[in-house]
Every structure is written in structure tokens, then in C-alpha cells.
């Protein structure tokens, strides 16, 4: 029987005095007494671990410190509470930043997106085994943090989505990179409908690596202590892969996988393929062709007769979603596949900065989060009404050549 994990050091990485502790960083000593496993907890269960600017900076501090510390051989990040790893960014604060006047106008929003993108890029470059524990909602900015981990675990409660079309943003924090690499037309479906994906479907799509029961987290941390850690990062990654594969197999053997929901995609794949049958696979097309493709989707999606709740929820999200966002999604899926991750991060920061300067994002937050009337008044009534110059404005950099904030990223 395994001994209880021994904590070498537990830190509360906290915001300014008086606020709740929003990020916890714990270092757990391995069995040999020479190595440590870092455990980072997003600790804002009351907001479903929504990430604000302060949390972005705290997370980045922990990642930078553990990345440079040779004694830290692996890391786990998870969310507090039962509802979410992280349901996204704290968009209410972004809304306030868009509404305030004077010198503070957009100051927070610009700082948030710049910090969020650079922080999530650090996750991708962490180098050591980094396990992201995907339980409950994993969405938006939370998904951007989760998906950069080298070992992504989905539990039976996982609800993973890029739901930005509902609030007039776009699938951000490297959504262009990952959605464009999904088997066509899954990326289009996820982005244009904001559909939630469970662990079984995420594993099939390659968005997660393992399906493990949620109650195994403590046992996993315990077992990580007993690995034969080395200074060789490749070997350490292999140890983690083997361990997580064992946990997945144990879940099957114990029939705990039976608690996982059934595939949503399996019964809807044919309809989704039909919906996007007239669209080129990831090819760059001009605005006029995008307009024609989106008009086809808008017409076709309402002609498909389905009694599937998951499919119909996606249809409702598309029908009520932001038309301009649909065009940004089309461009993301065209360009993202041929971009490096760094190029995606630099390009999406432009889209994010422009989104807070265009009215749809603010209106989406108002309707869905602030007033909760769920009736956003988008700038354009349908995808057919969106002009090309509106989309070009959203794609225009705010900086001159060689002045991008991430030139030295």
C-alpha cells in the first residue's frame, strides 16, 4: 500500500492582500527525496476557475519558476471544485474594461490578452512532463491553458468547448492552431457551433491523450512520487505516459469507464459531414467564397431533421451566434494549419485586440453574462450581411512592422 504523499513545500500564490488565494502551488517530494512534483491548483471554484489578469500573472510566475528548477521533474495542473478545470477567462472584467472611459479604457483588456497569450505559450514550451487534469468545463481561456500541456487527461465530467461564437469573440488562445488540425470538418463544427465535447470524443479527436476517472487524481499524485525520475526529460515523459496508460487501463478493468458518457459524435458524424460537404478542406479561399460557404451552412443546418439534443444545441448556438465571428473562424481554419504555434499566437493577439475595439464582443458579454437576456444585438443580422471591410478591420494589426509585442517571444 502506498504511503501518503509527502509535501516538501506548499505555497499560496496569492493576489494582493485582502483578496482570495486564486492560485496554489505545492511541491511534493518524490520517494527518493531528490526530486519534486509540482501541483498547481486554479483556486477560484466560485467562478469555475475563470482566469483573470492577476491569475494569468501568478500562473506564469509558477510556470517560469518550475521550468527553471531542475528539482521539479513533473507538474500537474487542475482546478478547484467539482465544476471546472477552468470555464474560461473572466469576461466580466473584460466587459468593464470596454465600458470604462478615459485612460482606463481597454487598459485591462489589452493587458489581459497580452498576458494570457504569453502565459499559454509558456505552457507549450514547458519542456518537462505537464499533466492537465480535465474535469468539468474546459473552455475558452481555460482550454487555451489546458491544451498546451504535454499530457492531457479527460475525466467522465469533461465538457470541452470553444464557445466564443456565442459572445462575439473567436476561438482564441491558439484555437486557430488546434481546430485547423482536427479531421475535417470537426474543427468547423466545434468552432461554428461551440459544441461541448466529452472525454470519449476528445480522445478520438486527439484533443486529450487519456481517459481517467476523476476520483483517481490523488492516487495519480501518489504514484508520481514513486517513479524512477532522472535528469533526462525524455525518459521522465515516458514514465508519465506509461503511468497514465496504466491508469486508463485500470479504469477499464474496474469498469469505471462505464461512468463515461457515450460518444456524441458517433451518431452525428454523417450529418456534420453533410453540413460541410460543399466546403473545401482547410484551403484558403477569398471572402466571397467564405460568404457562400457560410450561407450554405446557415441554410443547410436548419434543413437537417434531427432529434439529437447535442446536434440541436449546436444548431441553436450557430443560429444565435455572432455572424462576424463566423468569418473570423473561417479565416482561422484556413490559415492556422500552415502557421507555427508562435505565428498563431502573434496573429491571434491582433484579433483579440481588435475584438475589444469592435462592438460585438462587448454586446455578447452583455447579453450572456451581464444582463443575461440571451438576446445579443449583433452588428449584422446574418452571415449574409457581414461586409468584407468589417472582417478586414478585425484582422488589421494595431502596430507597425517590427513593433508587435511578441516579436521577442
**What residue spans define the domains of the chain?**
6-259, 269-394
Taking the C-alpha atoms of residue 159 and residue 153, their distance in angstroms, rounded to an integer, is: 12
Identify the pLDDT of residue 283. Answer: 56
Burial 216-247 (b: 16+ CB within 10 A, else e): bbeebbebbbebebeeeeeebbebbeebbeeb
Taking the C-alpha atoms of residue 279 and residue 59, their distance in angstroms, rounded to an integer, is: 40
Taking the C-alpha atoms of residue 263 and residue 252, their distance in angstroms, rounded to an integer, is: 16
Q: State percent of the chain over pLDDT 90.
A: 87
Digit-coded pLDDT (tens) for 72-85: 999 999 999 999 99
Quick one: angle between helices 323-335 and 287-301, nearest 10? 120
Digit-coded pLDDT (tens) for 79-123: 999 999 999 999 999 999 999 999 999 999 999 999 999 989 999
Taking the C-alpha atoms of residue 208 and residue 133, their distance in angstroms, rounded to an integer, is: 10
pLDDT band at 9 (very low <50, low <70, confident <90, very high): low
Architecture label for domain 6-259 = Alpha-Beta Complex (3.90)
Identify the pLDDT of residue 326. Answer: 98
pLDDT band at 284 (very low <50, low <70, confident <90, very high): low
Residue 280 has pLDDT above 70, yes or no: no
Taking the C-alpha atoms of residue 208 and residue 230, their distance in angstroms, rounded to an integer, is: 26
Identify the pLDDT of residue 344. Answer: 97
Backbone dihedral angles phi then psi of residue 339, each to the nearest 5 degrees:
-105, 150
Q: Which three cell numbers stand for residue 343?
A: 505565428
Taking the C-alpha atoms of residue 9 and residue 352, their distance in angstroms, rounded to an integer, is: 38
Q: What's this model's pTM, rounded to 2 decimal places?
A: 0.93
pLDDT band at 361 (very low <50, low <70, confident <90, very high): very high
Backbone dihedral angles phi then psi of residue 36, each to the nearest 5 degrees:
-135, 150
Q: What would the mean pLDDT of 240-254 be, rounded to a whole number?
A: 89
Contact 275/189 with Cβ under 8 angstroms?
yes
Taking the C-alpha atoms of residue 221 and residue 388, their distance in angstroms, rounded to an integer, is: 51
First-to-last C-alpha distance (Å) of the chain: 46
Taking the C-alpha atoms of residue 137 and residue 142, their distance in angstroms, rounded to an integer, is: 8
Q: State percent of the chain over pLDDT 70.
A: 92
Digit-coded pLDDT (tens) for 169-207: 999 999 999 999 999 999 999 999 999 999 999 999 999
Q: What would the mean pLDDT of 17-33 be, rounded to a whole number?
A: 84
Contact 121/212 with Cβ under 8 angstroms?
no
Amino acid at each position: 500500500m502506498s504511503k501518503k504523499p509527502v509535501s516538501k513545500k506548499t505555497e499560496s500564490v496569492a493576489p494582493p492582500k485582502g483578496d482570495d488565494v486564486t492560485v496554489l502551488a505545492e511541491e511534493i517530494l518524490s520517494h527518493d527525496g531528490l526530486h519534486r512534483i509540482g501541483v498547481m491548483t486554479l483556486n477560484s471554484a466560485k467562478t469555475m476557475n475563470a482566469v483573470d489578469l492577476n491569475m494569468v500573472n501568478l500562473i506564469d510566475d509558477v510556470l517560469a519558476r518550475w521550468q527553471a528548477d531542475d528539482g521539479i521533474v513533473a507538474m500537474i495542473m487542475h482546478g478547484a471544485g467539482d465544476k471546472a478545470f477552468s470555464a474560461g477567462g473572466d469576461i466580466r472584467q473584460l466587459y468593464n474594461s470596454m465600458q470604462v472611459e478615459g485612460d482606463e479604457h481597454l487598459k485591462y483588456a489589452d493587458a489581459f490578452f497580452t498576458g494570457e497569450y504569453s502565459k499559454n505559450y509558456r505552457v507549450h514550451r514547458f519542456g518537462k512532463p505537464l499533466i492537465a487534469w480535465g474535469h468539468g468545463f474546459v473552455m475558452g481561456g481555460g482550454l487555451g491553458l489546458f491544451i498546451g500541456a504535454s499530457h492531457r487527461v479527460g475525466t467522465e465530467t469533461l465538457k470541452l468547448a470553444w464557445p466564443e461564437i456565442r459572445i462575439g469573440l473567436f476561438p482564441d488562445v491558439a484555437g486557430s492552431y488546434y481546430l485547423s488540425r482536427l479531421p475535417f470538418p470537426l474543427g468547423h463544427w466545434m468552432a461554428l457551433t461551440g459544441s461541448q465535447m466529452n472525454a470519449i470524443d476528445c480522445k478520438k479527436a486527439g484533443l486529450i491523450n487519456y481517459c481517467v476517472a476523476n476520483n483517481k487524481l490523488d492516487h495519480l499524485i501518489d504514484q508520481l512520487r514513486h517513479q524512477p525520475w532522472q535528469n533526462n526529460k525524455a525518459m521522465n515523459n515516458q514514465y508519465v505516459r506509461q503511468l497514465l496508460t496504466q491508469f486508463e487501463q485500470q479504469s477499464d478493468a474496474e469498469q469505471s469507464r462505464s461512468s463515461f458518457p457515450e460518444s456524441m459524435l458517433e451518431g452525428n458524424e454523417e450529418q456534420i459531414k453533410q453540413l460541410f460537404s460543399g466546403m473545401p478542406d482547410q484551403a484558403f479561399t477569398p471572402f466571397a467564397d467564405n460568404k457562400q460557404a457560410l450561407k450554405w451552412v446557415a441554410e443547410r443546418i436548419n434543413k437537417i431533421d434531427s432529434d439529437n439534443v447535442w446536434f440541436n444545441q449546436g444548431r441553436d448556438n450557430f443560429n444565435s451566434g455572432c455572424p462576424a465571428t463566423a468569418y473570423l473562424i473561417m479565416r482561422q481554419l484556413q490559415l492556422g494549419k500552415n502557421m507555427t504555434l508562435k505565428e498563431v499566437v502573434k496573429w491571434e493577439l491582433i484579433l483579440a485586440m481588435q475584438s475589444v475595439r469592435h462592438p460585438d464582443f462587448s454586446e455578447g458579454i452583455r447579453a450572456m453574462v451581464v444582463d443575461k437576456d440571451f438576446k445579443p444585438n449583433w452588428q449584422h443580422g446574418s452571415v449574409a450581411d457581414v461586409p468584407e471591410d468589417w472582417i478586414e478591420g478585425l484582422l488589421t494589426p494595431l502596430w507597425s512592422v517590427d513593433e508587435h509585442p511578441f516579436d521577442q517571444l
